[in-house]
Chain A
Amino acid sequence: MAVDIGKFIKAPEYNVTIVTYRDVFQSAVCEEDRLSSEYQDLSAVIILDAAQMKHMGIVEGSNVRLTSKHGSVVVKTRASQQEEQKNIGFMVNSPWSNALVSIDTSDGFPGYKHIEVTIAVSKDEITSQR
């Protein structure tokens, strides 16, 4: 029987800072039905610089695991249509980005805007809403 050696090899991890933002299409779906698969499709996504994705060995549309000190989620990747700053990923505000957010603050502001994570290619399914 052939052994899939690949599954024992840990995918390389890279450090990325996630910047969160708002998206009008996702906000509209959020109004209609935030429990829908469409909401997940528009939310559980990280956008990266195309050249950096190539360097990381990440194929557009593939799943990646994002892990911070505070949580871990699997989301889909998308290449930015423009050149982006290196080591920056963009996620729309949603339960998927919020799962990674730090509350180790003392000013009442969670770390919503800039989230330090590692990113690695993943064969796992997109994390579902609780």
Chain B
Amino acid sequence: MSDITTWICTGCALLCEDIQVYAANGQIEKVEHACMMGKARVTGCKHTAKPMVDHTEVTIDKAISKAVHILKNADNPVLYGWGNSTSQAQIAGIELARVLNAVIDSTSSFCQGITINEILQGHMPSCTLEEVREKADVILYWGADPMSSHPRHLSKYSYFPRGDMRQHGYEEDRKAIAIDVRQSRTAKICKDMFYRIPPGSDLEFMKALLDALDGKVPKLSFDMDIKRLLELATLLKQCEFGVIFAGLGLVYSIKEDIQILSGLISKLNELSNFSLIPMVGHFNMRGFNHNLFNETGYIHSVKFTDKGPLSGVEYSIIEQLKGNADAMLIIGSDPLASLPGALLEQIENIPLILIDPCENLTTRAADVTIPCKASGIEEGGTAYRMDGEIIELSPFIQSNGMSDEMIIQRIIKEID
């Protein structure tokens, strides 16, 4: 007889709360409602991590002691990852960075941190996914392909549902628009509302759109029918509740001019009603930004000092690995797979401590591996959904291991 659990999925930052997991004797037999990524997350990785020091299996106590030794002897340790950890583990990690006078950062310093900062600083209005579901009539996916990155985004919230104010659903009540360099799965759903632009031309397109919203004749250096741009401007002006889902394609194109995105939202709000939601990837990547902001006033790339926390690009993970970092604690991340290859030599040349439920590419280079429970599956806590809503995660598998939070707390205790 299977036990049925309703699970909040940690496969991505949508944190879908309606996943049905059937388990018997601690084994998962069936998963319902989850996307491919969510199902893979709950089913678990094939190769679980083991406590290791210098590629030899040890007790978890020895692995933690070795990690403490490395961190205490480092002049510039960097604590990196955090997007797959609960807020409780992240807050413990921030405390560890404070104790060590370390740098702490996540992928958000080269990802959605820039848009989340605009929202947290009050420069850009945002809204909840429930508001999108119930009210949104114009949905703009810009440099984003949620059908690939957040597979239930359109069906659960942004396009297909019949919301309170959108009872005729996508057939009549909603318009979905994609602006992208490729005809992604999402762009295919948007059909004739797909605007294909050349790589790196988002800024030019945005300026042209602003001109069109101002009633000027827009100009583009690339081939696109200006009438289509004018039609887009008209649609955005006439909407009742619009939302822009900003993907990394957009972020990377306008990162030096992020204020123009805030300017576009401001202009749209003079004419209609628009919000922005960043397409955050890892299930609690946004939580790291909120929790660090609450603790330090900064959202990423923070260096703790005796005089207090500092933040700047020089404390980003990329700049630290180019220069100062002399030890790295990695939590819930696989930098050997996900960071640029040009940094791999630098990463492998410093002591690495890896805290993760699974083996990954970084395991092969790690001096210390400390296995932890899978957050949201074996360990509870809270996480920030992609729209900034706090969601309570409940574990449904009992295991005897340590959570990442417990491991960080142990490290803090042994360092003191």
Contact = CB atoms under 8 A, between A and B. Distances in A.
**Taking chain B's interface residues, is the majority helix, strand, or loop, or is none over half, making it mixed?**
helix
A110 interface: yes
Most buried by A among B40, B184, B196, B198: B40
A17 B148 contact: no
Most buried by B among A17, A95, A101, A129: A95
Nearest to B256: A107
A28 B318 contact: no
A57 B44 CA distance: 42
A32 B182 contact: no
Given A71-B341, A95-B341, A130-B344, A21 B199 contact: no
A23 B109 CA distance: 22
Interface residues of A, number: 44
Contacts of B110: 108-110, 112
**Taking chain A's interface residues, is the majority helix, strand, or loop, or is none over half, making it mixed?**
loop
A114 B199 CA distance: 7
A59 interface: no
Contact of B252 (A93, A113, A129): A113
B313 A35 contact: no
A51 B253 CA distance: 28
B154 to A, nearest CB: 13
Contact of B149 (A17, A22, A25, A103): A22
A60 interface: no
Interface string A26-38: 0111011111100
Contact of B334 (A34, A70, A90, A108): A34
Contact of A82 (B35, B183, B200, B255): B183
B361 A24 contact: no
Contacts of A22: 145, 148-149
7 contacts: A23-B148, A24-B148, A95-B341, A99-B340, A108-B319, A109-B255, A112-B252
Interface of A: 17, 19, 21-25, 27-29, 31-36, 70-71, 82, 84-85, 88, 90, 93-95, 98-103, 105-114, 129-130
Given A27-B149, A109-B252, 11 more contacts: A17-B199, A19-B181, A24-B148, A24-B185, A70-B342, A99-B340, A103-B342, A108-B318, A110-B110, A110-B340, A130-B361
